[in-house]
Structure 1
Amino acid sequence: MSHPAVVSVQSRECSPELLERLSGSTLFPERPAGAAIVSVVRRGGGSLFYVAAPAMVDADEQVEYFLGLLPEEHEGQLKALRDRVEVGSLDDRSSRWLSTKLLDGTNPAAGELRERIHAFVARERAAGADVRLDCFEPSANLEELAASLGMPANQADASVIPLGTKASGRRIFLDAGVPVVAGTDEFHSVDELAGGITDLVEAGHRKLVLKLSSTEFGAGMGNALLDLGATDLPADREGVRAAVAAALPTADLVDPKLTWAQYAAMITTSGVVAERWVEGDEVRSPSFQGRIAEDGTVTAVSVHDQVLGGAGLTYVGSCFPADAAYRSEALRHGLAVGARLVANGVRRGDYGVDFLAVREGSRWQVLGCELNLRATGTKHGFTMATALLDTVPDPDGDLVVGGSPRVYEASDGIADPSLVGVRPSALIDAVRSSPLHYDPVTRTGVVLHLLSALPTYGKFGAICIGRDRGECERMMRGLRELALALGNR
């Protein structure tokens, strides 16, 4: 029986300018490293070549930490496992995509790294391995790399990337029978946008969210909030349109490093949609993750509740599983969207659907919000949890181990200025020697990730696995206290 061998290139191919502005985002491709090590090497018995740029900080200590999350069967096994993990790094801290750095024909170091990848693939194939290229999202760059390695990437073809825009997502939701928030078509000028917003205002909507439509903008960083509630609007349409146009430059941009003039310029190339701001007795944001197989089969992978910051527009983490009050509806709608993607020519790959769950009284309504034709920020935490627990969700979307439920809370943004300068190895040692460290016997505890962001940005990520939500919250609080104590030494 063949063993798996994985080349992992987790390039997040959003706007390079956005990567430059978003703290520590050039290190996002490192987020799934631990999950890949546990799932491919520890559980899968395979080999892994993980590509990173910039280089992982304390790489050996990080790899050994992840390998050690599950106990060794005998002395010396850890060394054998370590030999099956190869980290290929480039010392490139620019905001270029990881795939661009890797395929840079002018950089001798990139050429040497490509040769190492080819050697890994040749060696593993000769040993009878099933070799795969694991990526975060569709990309022409990654298709070029895949062709050179003689294998497909595991995401959708680059030709279908336009299906992942905000405007396309709205159309696919409607085709799939998924209710959506009241909104506009896609516009490419501020003047057109003012006209579309006027239609929403005349329908009674005064609080709106603007969304740059292109797939280049993730984590809500292409969004802006426009509140016309206090604006004195005239009775005639042209007067309303003029008032909307005058108010647009006052929109509250999620990306604080952008000006309205810059945002307006992006509208011409990216396109923009406007939607009513959803309010109710309670509003949550469940996120569905699905997978499309080569034969067109659509599988539900998970449903999380997203943790949002920045006025509820920016992704900062997730909780698993999503609330049972609306989880089954999110699962049903997520699968329907996957079927529409297949009908539109998507042949394989991850996809995510972000919903809004709105409670009025005791009733929840689930609305389609955004479509992501790629993996999502929930994937690395889910992969780590299911690999450590050695289980997958049951038909209801729950994780159960030996008859006992497991839930988790994940964050990519545990941050404090005092953590700048802290080495990943120091935090690893502190967690290992604390009661928080993941225990493979109780199958609960804390697992770290995104550790290379610590020294420069004072931030890191973690997943807290517990028996219930309260236990996870206590772990996350304890981890923050532990990290702050380390940073304030």
Structure 2
Amino acid sequence: MGDRFEKLQDRLRDWTKADLPGEIWHSVDLFDQDDYDILVVPSFSVDQQVGEKIEGFLHYEERLLFSLIRLRNPHTRVIYVTALPLCPIVIDYYLQLLPGIPFSHARERLLPISLYDGSLKPLSKKILERPRLVDKIRRALRPNKAYMVCYNCTELERKLSLELDIPLLAASPDLLHWGSKSGSREIFAECNIPFPDGSFTVTSTEELLEELYELWLRQPDLKRIVVKLNEGFSGEGNALLDLRPILDYAPDKCERVETINALDKQLQNLSCQAEGETWESFSKRIPKLGAIVEAFIEGEVKRSPSVQGYIRPTKEVEILSTHDQILGGADGQVYMGCHFPADAAYRLKLQDLGLKVGEALAARGAMERYSVDFITVQHPETNEWDIQAIEINLRKGGTTHPFMTLKLLTNGNFDYDTGLFLSQQDQEKHYIATDNLQKEQYRGLLPNDLMDIIAEKRLHFDSSSRTGSVFHLMGALSEFGKLGLTSIGNSMEEAEEIYERVEAVLDEETKNYGDRASSLPLNWDKA
């Protein structure tokens, strides 16, 4: 299987070397000119129990709808597979954003496929369980002119790539270790990048307790320790162990066995990020997924920035963007959204560190997108920022779609020297983006209702000023009251104002909604 897969991946490298105008793989990522069939399989191949904790998890497949941007090339075709049907108006919404392409022409080159399967099994597994569908997709793709993209690459995505006989634009599943919590720490050590003290992989509670003890012994002033499953999603695999209630049992105050017993008991009070998670359920996944322990970074002024990069099949590494992440949850470790760009005080440093990580990943054979998460703490006296690397993600993530949306709608470019994004008119562009604009009162809103509100209140993106909001995760709105959006402005202040106006309008439109009747009858077009 490995040799066959590598031969398929060699096609990507051959296309890269092909004497074609525009550097083909530069264009694939940045949506310039390319002439390929693209199979989009937005499969979240993650621990099923993690998915169960995230409301509207299946609708996160909509985050890769920015891939429809590729249809702006009149020769490109896209097959987009989802577990549940996409609302037609959602597809129309994205196609109407395409510049210079008639809507009908783009629509003819898009084949959406739904499996009508609402289970939490990975989408790739669902496809493989349907051989007739696999055959249909295979026949729809042009031989030697097609490739596959996905959210993250596991053995399932590799198997699907082999079944379809098309290359997969993603890091091989053989490299997944380097995107795990433990593998990330190994890369950071190799690249001499600062990262929090902690452990590598443990696979039992007994090993975990030993590592907790050793970490506390090395750092007797610790107040909290983070326990992380080796594979997680959006911070849902993280838990926080508070040492303050058991300070009397610190390693420098009593015997080793007493400290370990105290730690064991305190684990029962572990603060898990996932709602409803307990130490009992969390610990059951440690043998399967592995876990690490890590010193919790304290600080009065603390942020969670990230850097995004791209590795071409030729092993060239490019920095795409930096963000300041917006974190929430009980202990502030769950990804809620982001600001672009990251603060000027440290974004260029993040770019340099991200480039080092990308080069280390490229040397191991990785390709396509990756990101690195950090924690920065401002020193109260010098105002300098201490930067600690936290995690590498070998996949697309929550910062992928807003940046690519910005790229499409402004036709601008990221400037590595400043860390800014400039439009074609050299206007700075900033945005705030989220996957988690969620309120109880939004439940029951259909995508069509949202479109009515967007049109009536003029919340849509303004192509003349290249500012405004672009929406996603619309399929999660009716059942979960959950929506995603990217608000673009010419300054961070303007982007935040645009975002706040969207939220204010939605709040007003859904306030006492039952007391108001629609201004149009359901059969208005026949009235």
Normalised by the size of structure 1, how large is the TM-score?
0.92
Report the equivalent of 1:169. Answer: 184
Report the equivalent of 1:236. Answer: 254
Q: Counterpart of 2:457 in 1: which secondary structure?
A: coil
Q: What is the alpha-carbon distance in structure 2 between the residues aligned to residue 411 and residue 45 of structure 1?
A: 32
Higher relative contact order (CA 8 A, sep 6+): 1
Counterpart contact for 2:302–2:376, Cα < 8 Å: yes
Q: What is the alpha-carbon distance in structure 2 between the residues aligned to residue 228 and residue 406 of structure 1?
A: 43
Q: What is the alpha-carbon distance in structure 2 between the residues aligned to residue 103 and residue 487 of structure 1?
A: 41
Report the equivalent of 2:408. Answer: 387
- Alignment match of 1:218 (pick from 216, 227, 233): 233
Q: After the TM superposition, list the runs of 4 or more consecutive aligned residues in structure 1 that deviate by more than 4 angstroms.
A: 70-73
- Alignment match of 1:367 (pick from 377, 388, 393): 388
Q: Counterpart of 1:366 in 2: which secondary structure?
A: strand
Report the equivalent of 1:18. Answer: 50
Report the equivalent of 2:91. Answer: 63
How far residue 112 of structure 1 moved from its aligned partner, in angstroms, is 4.6
Q: What is the alpha-carbon distance in structure 1 between the residues aligned to residue 155 and residue 224 of structure 2?
A: 38
Change (3 A) 1:193 1:71: closer
Q: What is the alpha-carbon distance in structure 2 between the residues aligned to residue 431 and residue 453 of structure 1?
A: 17
The 10-residue stretch of structure 1 (294-303 or 87-96) with the greater mean CA deviation from structure 2: 294-303
Report the equivalent of 1:336. Answer: 356
- Alignment match of 1:89 (pick from 106, 114, 123): 114
Q: What is the alpha-carbon distance in structure 2 between the residues aligned to residue 114 and residue 478 of structure 1?
A: 44
- Alignment match of 1:184 (pick from 194, 199, 205): 199
Counterpart contact for 2:43–2:122, Cα < 8 Å: yes
Report the equivalent of 1:36. Answer: 67
Normalised by the size of structure 2, how large is the TM-score?
0.85
How far residue 12 of structure 1 moved from its aligned partner, in angstroms, is 1.1
Q: What is the alpha-carbon distance in structure 2 between the residues aligned to residue 383 and residue 32 of structure 1?
A: 10
Counterpart contact for 2:74–2:106, Cα < 8 Å: no
Segments of 5+ residues of structure 2 without an aligned counterpart are 1-19, 21-33, 514-527
The one-letter amino acid paired with 1:455 is: S
State how 1:99-118 maps to structure 2 within 5 Å.
99-105=124-130, 111-118=131-138
The one-letter amino acid paired with 1:210 is: V
RMSD: 1.9
The answer to whether structure 1 residue 287 and structure 2 residue 312 are counterparts is no
Q: What is the alpha-carbon distance in structure 2 between the residues aligned to residue 12 and residue 21 of structure 1?
A: 14
Segments of 5+ residues of structure 1 without an aligned counterpart are 106-110
- Alignment match of 2:123 (pick from 98, 108, 115): 98
- Alignment match of 1:119 (pick from 109, 127, 139): 139
The answer to whether structure 1 residue 399 and structure 2 residue 399 are counterparts is no
The one-letter amino acid paired with 1:183 is: G
The one-letter amino acid paired with 1:198 is: Y
How far residue 292 of structure 1 moved from its aligned partner, in angstroms, is 1.6
Change (3 A) 1:100 1:487: farther
**Percent identity of equivalent pairs:** 29
Report the equivalent of 2:461. Answer: 438
Counterpart contact for 1:207–1:229, Cα < 8 Å: yes
The one-letter amino acid paired with 1:134 is: V
Q: Counterpart of 2:387 in 1: which secondary structure?
A: strand
1:77-117 deviation digits (Å, cap 9, x = unpaired): 22122212221111111111111111114xxxxx4543442
Q: What is the alpha-carbon distance in structure 2 between the residues aligned to residue 15 and residue 442 of structure 1?
A: 42
Q: What is the alpha-carbon distance in structure 2 between the residues aligned to residue 335 and residue 143 of structure 1?
A: 27
Q: What is the alpha-carbon distance in structure 1 between the residues aligned to residue 277 and residue 339 of structure 2?
A: 30
Counterpart contact for 2:35–2:73, Cα < 8 Å: no
The answer to whether structure 1 residue 414 and structure 2 residue 433 are counterparts is no
State how 1:252-291 maps to structure 2 within 5 Å.
252-291=271-310
1:117-155 deviation digits (Å, cap 9, x = unpaired): 223313xx5xxx942211111122222222233321111
Q: Counterpart of 2:78 in 1: which secondary structure?
A: strand
How far residue 332 of structure 1 moved from its aligned partner, in angstroms, is 0.9
